[in-house]
Structure 1
Amino acid sequence: MEHRIPGSQTLRDLPMVVYLQGDEKFIQDFAIDADKAMDYLGIKRSRLTQISGRELRVGRIRKDRYIRPVYRVKDLEDYKSWTRATATSQSSSKVMEKAIHSLSDQWNEFKLESQFVWQDMAKKLKRDVLQGQLSEKSLMKRLFEKTAREQNALMKGLCSRIDQLEDVLLKVQSLTHKHKAKVDKELSLIHDVQESLHLEVHRLSGLFKGAEDRRKQSGDDGLVRQKRLETLLISLVEKVEQQGLELQSLKKDQAALSQSLEKANQKLDTVVRDVAKDRAWSRKRLSRSLARPGLKVSKFRQEHLN
């Protein structure tokens, strides 16, 4: 429970100078007089008078005809914990000398401890550097081995792919030549048939003309022959036209086949160029990797590099 004093103040917000009437509930806290306070702090009366009300809380109470200073034990302990007396029985020179010796001892102790600390730090740093170098070398070795394996696998894959593409190219070229020879042969046969038909038409035309002349001479018998010749001529013309249509169809098929083969050759050329680029890039990368000093080059990589 908080004890109130005049002015609506509490024990937690007492002023530095407390005027006591003698009937306060906390009057028993101010039980230390000036003599006991001087003995407790080790100071003289002049110093006590100087700090009372400024740095040290003091109570003022009337005893007999005089106003006497009184103090609380808690205030004395707080003051002594954060400051020291400036007016003591010791002289300032002795206090300074004692402080200098204390600082010198502390400095020597700190210096010795710092040397040990620096030595430990240097050893630890050296150990860490050596471990870091070893781990870095191990990491570089693993990375190089991994890169070498990947490059070997890549070169093997590229060689296999190039061989497959070369086989496909040879097959396509063989099929192209085969179909082209077949088409040329068929076109040659059709051309020969067409030439023979033209010759036959020409021969029949001559016969028809001769028959016409003879019809004029022989009458009805010639007319019958003429009709037969006309029928034969019409059938021959139809055959010629049919052969011409077949020839045009074959020409269209040949053109379509030529276009398909040309597109296939273009795609194949594109694939071959891409493979060549990949091979050149892999060869360049492998050359850079193999250019490192002290690197042993396997026979397989030398063959593919060259």
Structure 2
Amino acid sequence: MASRNPDNAVASESKALELAREVLELEADSVRDLAARLGEEFATAWRICLDCQGRVIVTGMGKSGHIAGKVAATLASTGTPAFFVHPGEASHGDLGMITGEDVVLALSNSGETGEVLTILPLIKRLGVPLISMTGRPDSTLARAANANLDVSVAREACPLNLAPTSSTTATLAMGDALAVALLESRGFTQEDFARSHPGGSLGRRLLLQLDDLMHSGDEVPKVNADTPMREALLEMTRKGLGMTAVVDDENRVVGIFTDGDLRRTLDRLVDVHSTPVRELMTAGPKTARPDMLAGEALRLMETQRINQLLITDADGRLIGALNMHDMLRAGVV
């Protein structure tokens, strides 16, 4: 096996970096050029999708098909019901997925993709609006569409000007532009996004409430204000939340004693056997209601720089507790 020449390796790496920069610049220019071409056709496509009573059916072959799948996913996750249909499968039965209330969004750089053109008469027969994204505004697909979004590029980023690179990037960006324009028009919110992404951290922040996460019943550490420090420390140790709530005779929260308070107590050489917890607790601690969203509670804890939170009812009575580890375990952080 031939030995590697260090000088050639350096030259090769340098060339690779230069080429990579050129690719990124070419693709960035291609996306930037789209903005100047936005106009009446985009507005028509936006209106068709906004008025759609069904779903946006996105289709495309090859690399355009991969982009079509991502565009469909982006639309669906931002408030516009959509899914991908393979054009080859569509002419063999899957066209039955399309109803008269739907919209078809067809992607083809050439605008002459055979599998896509084959289903055009069937789409027309259904009376379904057709939006196209093509690199050739004079193509068969573009001319058949109710609105054509021009995603043509000056050249591909591939040195051979063959592999779909700039063109697929431009098409993907145009799909994002359409999805975001629709999102804004529909008044789509963070909460709406969370409902489409319940498994993500954003979904957990915006869907989970504190009563889904908090410890309750006997799991909640609590002591009376007159309890000696020694017993308060034992309660903290038993419950393992790094704190104990301090309540009055009616179970209303009057304070909290945390690991941080304990460190400060030890610095003062306090007698933990006789000193009541009321003299060392943090009075009037921050509390939350059980229906508070986990994301809101997390912001409260971060703003106040606290690691524990007591949950109370409308009358200030203790009903639960949690700490930052509970947030971590739930995937909120």
Normalised TM-score (structure 2) = 0.17
TM-score if structure 1 supplies the norm length? 0.19
Greater length-normalized contact order (CA 8 Å, ≥ 6 residues apart):
2
